[in-house]
Amino acid sequence: MHLLAMNRSLSVDPWLALKRFTPARIAMGRAGGSLRTVNLLDFRLAHARARDAVHAAFHADAIRGQLNEAGLDFAEVNSPVTGKQDYLLHPERGRVLTEESTAFLASKAQEWGERDIVVVISDGLSAIAAESHAVAVAKGLHRELGETFSFYPVVIVPYGRVKIADAISDVLGARMAIILLGERPGLGAKDSLSAYFTYKARNCSVDSDRNCVSNIRPGGMPVPWAVRKLSVLMRESFRIERSGTALKDRLTLDDLQRALPLADDEGKLR
Amino acid sequence: MNSTTLEIAGKHWTFNSLKELMGKATPLRSGDVSAGCAATCDEERVAAQMLLADVPLRLFLDEPLVPYEKDEVTRLIVDSHDTAAFEPVKNLSVGEFRDWLLEYGTGPEALTALAPGLTPEMVAAVSKICSIQDMILIASKCRVVTAFRDTIGLPGCLSTRLQPNHATDDPKGIAAAMLEGLLYGCGDAVIGINPATDSVPMMQELLKLIDELIQRYHIPTQSCVLAHVTNALEVMRLGTPVDLVFQSIAGTEAANSVFGVNLNVLEEAYDAALSLRRGTVGQNVMYFETGQGSALSGRGDWGVDMQTCEARAYAVARKFKPLLVNTVVGFIGPEYLYDGKQIIRAGIEDHFCGKLLGLPMGCDICYTNHAEVDQNDMDVLMTCLAAAGLTYQMAIPGGDDIMLGYQTTSYHDIHFIRQVFGKRPTPEFESWLKEMDLFDARQRFINHTGNNHALIGYEQELER
């Protein structure tokens, strides 16, 4: 790469200073009218990494280990999805539980009794995101909300879509479900986690019943901020006994920064 | 249509309705398979295409695929059909229609005159039996010209939408990307921002930002913030400078209701934008986006295949004489269009169907990271569409949209097209680029040294 950087015949754009206003790929210069080699390969690398992130296998044992370390109980269930391609082609299969898992959870429901919150963890479209941030968010929610609300064991489900939390919550009879799952990797970030929570999530719940906090990652919405935001919103949701479009997010960035400066061990900025 | 059967080597392929025949004749795509309307094997698909080739075009007028009583898009299609324009092809079958379109004698004038006589279902049907080269050739013979502050779609032109999106709508970030786009000679179709939020005040701020730049440098182009049509109505009421009204549309009433629109609200917005009379060389004030799979994802497909639903969206667009229509072909994801092969074919079909129906078709030649597709597929689609006479494509920094999280064509890509195909921006915009001393007669960059260019003054203000 350094050889290319030494090629002085390629011009530098006079508006190079504008790069500081946007992370967009501006002021890259050109070869004729085309992309310079360095930028062509840089783009190709970003896409390759995003592709690899989409196809990366989900290591449920990594999640188990982190949950054990955090002292959180867990259970594991499955959707009928058979593999990555099946998952990508058939979103509806990632939204339901297998019959076995439904029966398993039904038996667990009796053992656990009725509780307030079920946290669900899935790889979604980025296993890396789930493995990197999901347990930290789950742990933070227990810390913030654990004194007021009772939690079910965390439910791990590979190849889940957002709606599978409705199915899980439906069987358990939970008051609230929150699913933490990897977002579709972009060229810029491949480890973004999303959190969707639904008050009284049931099989009949729809998208407008949910609230979402997205882009959870260092450099995006750091974990401590996400936990803060989620716990405020979830408390409010319990109070008004609704979620979704009825629940408005009025927290500003300043609120988050004041509440939790980024010194927290889980929220290191890059 | 009664049940129809084709025997091939002792095997009988039977199709029970026109809708079933259309679905099964469609080249393979993942969304149709999931929806259950696709052929079960390749041989069945070709059998359906063979039978579809013998279907008379008139049958599509007599047998709507979506019920007339239950769908306002069907009513629009049937009620606005121009029988006089249909005259030259009224006795042809789908297969004969393909042959007619390919005749040397079928030129731009004939195709322009025919457009009001064609329905979306007719053009969808013929596309299903066409090869890619057929669709490129036929589309390249279509002429669709629209205008607002410049004239889009003239022969030899390929325009660009400058798309300077920013993840938080930061005005300086948007301005920086917008400035670079202009310096790359992009933006003659529209300068159009996808806003990060539904905020009305933010939409007003962005519209003012583009409008001030356009006015200050007398740029012959138009602005658009791609928010919901009801937001556009709101900001027009507030007196904000709106050039084009944007809306995503689909091919059925049910699917449009998922987008929160119907023909009435589109009509209201169309009238409101027209009444502003902001166009200088024309009054095409609408900008629509579409894409195969939108009706299916909103469960508004009536069991009709994705590509036919998409063509029906063009009937909605056509009613409002748009400046620009754009199929966002690769945005929807692999559960609808799985890979590069499916996206490439779909993009070429959409452009072909839109052009035959008389629309100024552009294409967002794009993909997401969870589909089996990469830049090479985009280069192939871009090259095919330039050959087919595409009206416009997107232009963004480095092909990487940091707001929408997908990849589309870049500022650099249009220079590839200009060099290989000799394509030019609109004549008004080309004159402006010449006045600004940015490009030479061959649309090649003039190298400026130092910071003496007029647009660099804008840059220096940004930096303050």
Residue A51 and residue A128: Cα distance in Å, rounded? 12
Q: State mean pLDDT over B218-228.
A: 97
**Lowest-confidence pick of A3-17, A120-134, B394-408:** A3-17
Helix, coil or strand: residue B6? strand
CA distance B394 to B392: 7
Spell out the domain ranges in chain A. 58-259
**Burial of A70 by CB count in 10 Å (0-12 exposed, 13-18 middle, 19+ buried)?**
middle
pLDDT band at A247 (very low <50, low <70, confident <90, very high): confident
Question: Which residue of B lies nearest to A44 if distances are taken between CA atoms?
Answer: B375
Helix residue ranges per DSSP H, B285-389: 294-297, 306-319, 340-356, 375-387
Core vs surface per residue B246-268: b (16+ CB within 10 A) or e = bbbbbbbbbbbebbebebebbee
Looking at residue B90, the DSSP 8-state letter turns out to be: T
Size of interface A-B (CB pairs under 8 A): 128
pLDDT band at B460 (very low <50, low <70, confident <90, very high): confident
Give yes or no for residue B457 having a pLDDT over 90: no
Q: Are strands A210-216 and A193-199 parallel, antiparallel or unpaired?
A: antiparallel
Q: Do B400 and A43 touch (CB under 8 A)?
A: yes
**Nearest CB to B334; choose among A46, A53, A88:** A88
Contacts of B375 in chain A (CB under 8 A): 43-44, 47
Chain-centroid distance of CA B339 in Å reads 20
pLDDT of residue B451: 57
Of B174, B447, B463, which is closest to A11 when you measure between CB atoms?
A: B447
Q: Can you tell me the mean pLDDT for A63-71?
A: 97
Whole-number percent of chain B with pLDDT over 90: 90
The residues that bridge with A118 in the sheet, in sequence order, are A177
Catalogue all structural domains in chain B, each as residue range(s) with its CATH number. 146-435 (3.20.20.70)
φ, ψ for residue B190, nearest 5 deg: -175, 155
Asked whether residue A248 carries a pLDDT value surpassing 90, the answer given is no
Give the closest-approach CA distance of A15 to chain B in angstroms: 7
β-pair partners for B401: B406
Give the range among A89-103, A197-211, A216-230, B438-452 with minimum mean pLDDT. B438-452
Which is it for the CA torsion B349, B352, B358, B359, positive or negative?
Answer: positive
pLDDT at B452: 62
Ordered DSSP codes for A203-261: TT--GGGEEEEEEESTTSB-HHHHHHHHHHHHHHHHHHT--GGGS-----HHHHHHH--
Q: Mutating which of B28, B163, B178, B180 best tests the A interface, going by the most A Cβ atoms within 10 A?
A: B180
pLDDT tens digits along B351-367: 999 999 999 999 999 99
How far apart are alpha carbons B284 and B281 in whole angstroms? 10
Do the Cβ atoms of A33 and B444 come within 8 Å? Answer: yes
B residues 94-133 closer than 8 Å to A (CB): none
SS3 B107: coil
Residue B406 has a pLDDT of: 95
Q: Do A14 and B447 touch (CB under 8 A)?
A: no
pLDDT tens figures, B22-57: 999 999 999 999 999 999 999 999 999 999 999 999
The answer to whether residues B377 and B343 touch, using CB atoms and an 8 Å cutoff, is yes
Confidence of residue A207 (pLDDT cuts 50, 70, 90): confident
How many angstroms separate the most distant Cα atoms in chain A? Answer: 73
**Which residues have a Cβ under 8 Å from the Cβ of A29 and sit 6 or more positions away?**
A10, A11, A12, A13, A36, A39
Strand partners, B325: B288, B361
Helix (H, G, I), strand (E, B) or coil at A50: helix
pLDDT grade, residue A104 (50/70/90)?
A: very high
- Is the confidence at residue B411, as pLDDT, over 90? yes
Question: Dihedrals φ, ψ of B456, to 5°?
Answer: -65, -25
Portion of chain B with pLDDT greater than 70, in percent? 99
Q: Determine the average pLDDT of the residues in B384-404.
A: 96
Which pLDDT does position A270 carry in this prediction?
A: 29
Instruction: Give the three-class secondary structure for B22.
Output: helix
Q: What are phi and psi of A221, to 5 degrees?
A: -100, 100
Which of A18, A35, A88 has its CB closest to that of B459?
Answer: A18
Q: Quote the mean pLDDT of chain B.
A: 95
> Looking at chain B from residue 308 to 327, which residues have their Cβ under 8 Å from any Cβ of chain A?
none
pLDDT tens-digit series, residues B278-300: 999 999 999 999 999 999 988 89
Output the pLDDT for position B298: 83
Contact A26 B368 (CB under 8 A): no
Domain A58-259: homologous superfamily in CATH: Ethanolamine ammonia-lyase light chain (EutC) (3.40.50.11240)
Give the amino acid at A198. Answer: T
**Average pLDDT rounded to a whole number, residues A84-94:** 94
